[in-house]
Structure 1
Amino acid sequence: MAIKKDQTVEMNYELKINEEMIEDNMDGESIKFVYGSGQIIPGLESRIEDMNIGESKTINVPSNEAYGEYDEALSQILPIEEFEGINLEIGMVLEGEEENQEVIRATVTEVTNEDVTVDYNHPLAGCDLEFTILIKSIS
């Protein structure tokens, strides 16, 4: 049975960027999602349609169909006083809420005595992704 809209799909995957392994659950617990519901990135979802149980495939997803292009405008320099009481480290992910209660995340990219540079881009923005996937079940 091939994957169709609104079916629950269970799959395992490896994710590489520039030949470097980023994530791998091939020997671990599968992920489950409803196909067509937007629970996985669009470029991957569109490329697994019509796959069958037990089928394996390597899929390349360009950044614009994954987490988007990197946007320099989403990097911001803020006064260090705004981070009082936080032990800042480069690579640290900070969470906050917008006025509409939506959670926002920013990665600390630079810390000086006066300023902190934070980046609101997704960590994989601007990256082309290579997935190797295995379809475990479709229901």
Structure 2
Amino acid sequence: MQVANDTVVQFKYTLKDEDSQVLDTNVNNAPLAYLHGHNGMLEGIENALTGKEEGESFSITLSPEEAYGERKEDMIQRVPVKHLQGAKKWSAGMMATVHTEQGERQVTVAKVGKFMADVDMNHPLAGLTLIFDLEVVSVRAATEEELEHGHAHGEGGHHH
């Protein structure tokens, strides 16, 4: 079966930067699952997977615009340290979670004081050209429930 809209795709990936440094991988873990054509994956990855079949491996390079966007310098915000979640003690460069009006958001601590912290609201991978090594593990038709919910269920997908 080929990857197409309304299929559940499981895949393994290795994410690298332009210098071929590995940033993330799930090669030794369960494959990632998503419902193709339902905006649950980076558009560049979905486009590259369209038409592929189980067992195919390939690499793609995504520009910042195709991935997590360009870095925006005006995305630094000052927040109370008590609103940072994920650690008890903070220092520059650490990842934190903050609650915003749009829900939880991952941020990077830029500077921290006793009561206030400057956080970078850009996605950690914003501004980077990314290389994805992809392997299609399986492709199957989505269930009615998955189509109704708009996401894949089971291993590598959503669990209710």
State the TM-score bracket (shorter-chain normalisation). Answer: 0.7 to 0.9
- Structure 1 residue 114: Cα displacement: 8.1
The answer for the alignment partner of 1:123 in structure 2 is 124
| Matched letter for residue 56 of structure 1 | S
Unpaired runs of at least 5, structure 2: 141-160
Is 1:16 the counterpart of 2:2 in the alignment? no
| Matched letter for residue 65 of structure 1 | E
Are the structure 2 counterparts of residues 89 and 28 from structure 1 closer, same or farther at C-alpha, using a change threshold of 3 Å? same
The answer to whether the Cα contact below 8 Å between 2:82 and 2:115 also exists between their aligned partners in 1 is no
The answer for the alignment partner of 2:149 in structure 1 is none
CA–CA separation in structure 2 for the residues paired with 1:26 and 1:96: 29
CA–CA separation in structure 1 for the residues paired with 2:34 and 2:42: 11
CA–CA separation in structure 1 for the residues paired with 2:7 and 2:137: 13
- What CA deviation, in whole Å up to 9, does each residue of 1:47-67 have, x standing for no partner? 111111111111111111111
- Structure 1 residue 84: Cα displacement: 5.2
| Matched letter for residue 76 of structure 2 | S
| Matched letter for residue 107 of structure 1 | T
The answer for the alignment partner of 1:69 in structure 2 is 70
Are the structure 2 counterparts of residues 111 and 97 from structure 1 closer, same or farther at C-alpha, using a change threshold of 3 Å? closer
Are the structure 2 counterparts of residues 84 and 22 from structure 1 closer, same or farther at C-alpha, using a change threshold of 3 Å? closer
- Structure 1 residue 39: Cα displacement: 1.5
The answer to whether the Cα contact below 8 Å between 1:43 and 1:62 also exists between their aligned partners in 2 is no
Unpaired runs of at least 5, structure 1: none
Which 4+ runs in 1 deviate beyond 3 A? Answer: 112-115
Q: Under a length normalisation based on structure 1, what TM-score does the superposition of the two structures give?
A: 0.85
| Matched letter for residue 10 of structure 1 | Q
CA–CA separation in structure 2 for the residues paired with 1:9 and 1:59: 17
Q: Secondary structure at the match of 2:65?
A: helix
- Structure 1 residue 83: Cα displacement: 1.9
**Number of residue-to-residue matches in the alignment:** 135
Q: Under a length normalisation based on structure 2, what TM-score does the superposition of the two structures give?
A: 0.75
Is 1:103 the counterpart of 2:104 in the alignment? yes
Q: CA RMSD in A?
A: 2.1
